[in-house]
C-alpha cells in the first residue's frame, strides 16, 4: 500500500503542478490546447482563472511535500481530495444544469474522480 500512496500523491501533485503552472502563466493558450476552450483577453475572467490556477499550483506543492515529509501526508491527501473531488462535483453539477461539455472536459472529470477516490482510499488507509 505504501507504493500506491506514493504513486497517488505523485500523480496528484504532478497533474496539479503542471495544470496550475500552465494556466497561471498562459491561460488563453493552455485552455485552448488542453480543454478546447477559447478564452478572450478579458481582464476579470483572466484574473479569476489565474486565482484558481494558483490554488491548483500551491495544492500540488503541498501534495508533493506529503511524499517527503511524513507529518504532511495526511494534509496532502486531504488537499488532494478537496481539489479533485471538489472540481469533479462542480463539473457534475454543471453537466446537470448546463449540459454535456466537450470530450476533453469529460476526460478531466474522469481523472478528477479517479485521483480523488484514490486519495480517499489512501487517506482511509492511514487513519
Listed by start position, the domains of the chain span: 2-126
- Mean pLDDT over 42-69 rounds to 97
| Grid cell digits, residue 118 | 484514490
Integer Cα distance of 38 and 71 in angstroms: 41
Integer Cα distance of 85 and 44 in angstroms: 26
Residue 91 pLDDT grade (very low, low, confident, very high; cuts 50, 70, 90): very high
**So what's the pLDDT on residue 40?**
87
**pLDDT per position as a tens digit, 29-49:** 999 898 889 998 899 999 999
Q: Judge contact between 8 and 126, C-beta under 8 A.
A: no
**pLDDT per position as a tens digit, 102-111:** 999 999 999 9
Furthest C-alpha separation in the chain: 46
pTM of the predicted protein model: 0.94
Q: What is the DSSP letter of 102?
A: -
**So what's the pLDDT on residue 1?**
80
Amino acid at each position: 500500500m505504501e507504493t500506491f500512496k506514493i504513486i497517488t500523491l505523485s500523480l496528484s501533485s504532478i497533474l496539479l503542478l503542471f495544470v496550475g503552472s500552465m494556466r497561471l502563466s498562459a491561460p488563453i493558450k493552455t485552455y485552448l490546447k488542453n480543454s478546447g476552450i477559447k478564452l478572450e483577453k478579458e481582464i476579470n475572467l483572466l484574473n479569476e482563472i489565474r486565482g484558481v490556477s494558483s490554488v491548483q499550483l500551491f495544492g500540488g506543492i503541498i501534495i508533493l511535500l506529503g511524499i517527503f515529509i511524513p507529518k504532511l501526508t495526511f494534509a496532502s491527501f486531504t488537499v488532494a481530495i478537496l481539489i479533485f473531488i471538489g472540481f469533479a462535483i462542480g463539473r457534475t453539477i454543471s453537466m446537470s444544469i448546463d449540459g454535456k461539455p466537450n470530450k476533453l472536459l469529460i476526460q478531466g472529470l474522469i481523472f478528477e474522480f479517479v485521483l480523488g477516490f484514490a486519495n480517499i482510499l489512501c487517506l482511509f488507509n492511514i487513519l
